[in-house]
Amino acid sequence: MKKPLSLPRICIAATGETPAALRTCAEAALRQSRFVELRLDWLKNPSDGIPLIKTLLNSAARSAQVGRPVLQATCRRRESGGRFDGTVARQLEILEMAARGGCHLADLEIESAEAAGPAAVSQLHGAVRLILSWHDFQRTRPLEGAARRLRRFPADYYKIVTTATRQSDNCAVLEFLEGANATEGEAGKWIAFCMGEAGVPSRVLALSRGSAFVYAAPNLGSSAAGVVRKAEDRSFPLAAPGQLDYETLQKRYCAARLTARTKLFGLLGAPVRHSLGAALHNAAFRKLGLDAVYLPLLVSDLRDFREAAARYPLAGFSVTIPHKEAILRYVERADRWVRAAGAANTIRVRRERWEATNKDVEGILRPLRKTYRLAKGARLPKNFQAVIVGAGGAARAAVIALRAMGCRDLAITGRDPVKVRRFAGAFDLDPLPLEELGRERFDLLVQATPVGLWPNAAESLLQGKQIAAETVFDLIYNPPETLLLRLARAQGCRVISGLEMFLAQAASQFEYWTGLPAPLRTMRQAAWDELQRLDHTATP
């Protein structure tokens, strides 16, 4: 009879194409958690990983860091999304060898179970705690068919993993989990989530909906959104698309502490991987002890998202490119900043009604008030002259902010003369050819194009005499000191980093959603910490 087993709620997947690489990855994982999956199918000969099991158990047993280890063996066949090219019979033999070697659990895909038959699966189940799994690497379809296939075989756990192509896919998986756990005799037996970047919310929320556990990658080399990078970026390869690293899942999202009552917020856009929003807002929630989480919400279909937002349900969300204008078709209420800008970057949900505002405007207003020492509502001098470089959404927010501060002498320039003239006509501005920038000096220059944004941080749209202003405000926040700001500083200009705008609009969003003062110091530190993880910024 199998002994009772206490499982942590997050299992770290260890990968490696050689026994030495797999051992290195597994040892790193065991320094973070005592629950580790060994992907034996990554080895050319999976049986070469069997001796590693006792080595890991013995070395981990001597360590006081994480406690008694729990190991899961997986040897997934290529036909089912793995790397093992052997027969089903050999696959089951390897998993039984892993069980005799000390592994506590084994993952067997349903295709292999059906090919092997009930007797062979029962034999494996007698030797080890069995996870019977079903994967769809293309999409998310109705899950009951997969569940019926899994239930035909007795197992300790059943796992359903799909691929999210839209946010409603996450909702379908999370709702399935809630229903399966409400089924008599099946509570705590199901594991379910979605793969892919769009599936990240399901990985974060699965435990709160009853998943027995979820999977993560080791911590090294993670990106801004917490998605582990490729091996050449100094990390361990991902076992599955969209997998988060352990620290991100456990510490940033606090996945093991979330419940069905946790308020959900997020960033709507495409892409969303680059944003610092998850780091800032989740740090702020933790600081104030709020039961809330902020998620990346990769979306291409807004109609689907409107449905998914109600199913999650979302309490509010930020909006980034390319949805700031299109989102207005779905809101019930918009404030004066939205009406002026024709775009929204923040939505809150009240009684299923979407209320929109544009905190990009506030993100520009706050740093400018601080720079010019103006109280809220105070106006700039009558002869104040400003120029905005760019003709997109950020430039629009800058026009609205400056006019709200009383600036009337306002010029616009940019790379595309046609767009500049169209923008100037829409906002009654003076168009200025980019090549003429520098013939007169301005009080303020606002850089509102993406030129200089990481990873193209060595670029600057303006050079030398073109930077003709007392103060230069670059709206790019990543990196926080762009090449333009360095050039401006060298010419004696006062500079404002786009990080100040980002922090101001994030704080304003937080206050709009929660009604509480934003913990600015915590949010600023979270932003710097996240930028330093990317290895392309200076210390604060």
363 and 435 in contact (C-beta within 8 Å)?
no
- 445's enclosing H/E stretch is strand 442-447
Spell out the long-range contacts of 149-154 with Cβ–Cβ below 8 A and sequence spacing 24 or more.
Answer: 149/110, 149/114, 150/110, 153/110, 153/113, 153/118, 153/121, 153/125, 154/122, 154/125, 154/130
- Measured CA angle at 283 (ends 280, 284), to 5 deg: 85
3-state secondary structure of 179: helix
Q: How far apart are CA 528 and CA 480, in angstroms?
A: 9
Question: Who contacts 397 (Cβ-Cβ below 8 Å, separation ≥6)?
Answer: 341, 343, 358, 360, 361, 363, 364
Run of H or E residues at 133 = strand 129-135
Alpha-carbon gap, residue 304 to 278, rounded angstroms: 22
Percentage helix, strand, coil for the chain under 3-state DSSP, each rounded to 5: 40, 20, 40
Catalytic site residue 324?
yes
Asked if 455 and 482 count as a contact pair (C-beta separation under 8 A), the reply is no
- Compute and round to an integer the Cα radius of gyration of the chain: 27
Cα(473)–Cα(414) distance, integer angstroms: 15
User: Which residues lie below 8 Å from residue 49, measured CB to CB, with a gap of 6+?
Assistant: 19, 22, 38, 40, 43, 98
**Torsion angle of C-alpha atoms 143, 149, 154, 160, degrees rounded to 10:** -30
Unique residue bearing structure tokens 């595309």: 416
Give 377's contacts (C-beta < 8 A, 6+ positions apart).
none
Per-residue three-class SS string for 213-248: CEEEECCCCECCCCEECCHHHCCCCCCCCCCEEHHH
Sign of CA dihedral 341, 346, 347, 348: negative
Q: Which of 159, 189, 324, 359 is catalytic?
A: 324
What does the CA dihedral 448, 453, 458, 459 come to, rounded to 10 degrees? -30
Smallest Cα–Cα separation from 299: which of 285, 284, 314? Answer: 314
Give how far Cα 72 sits from Cα of 107, 128, 129, Å.
Answer: 7, 10, 9
Question: Which residues are known catalytic residues?
Answer: 324
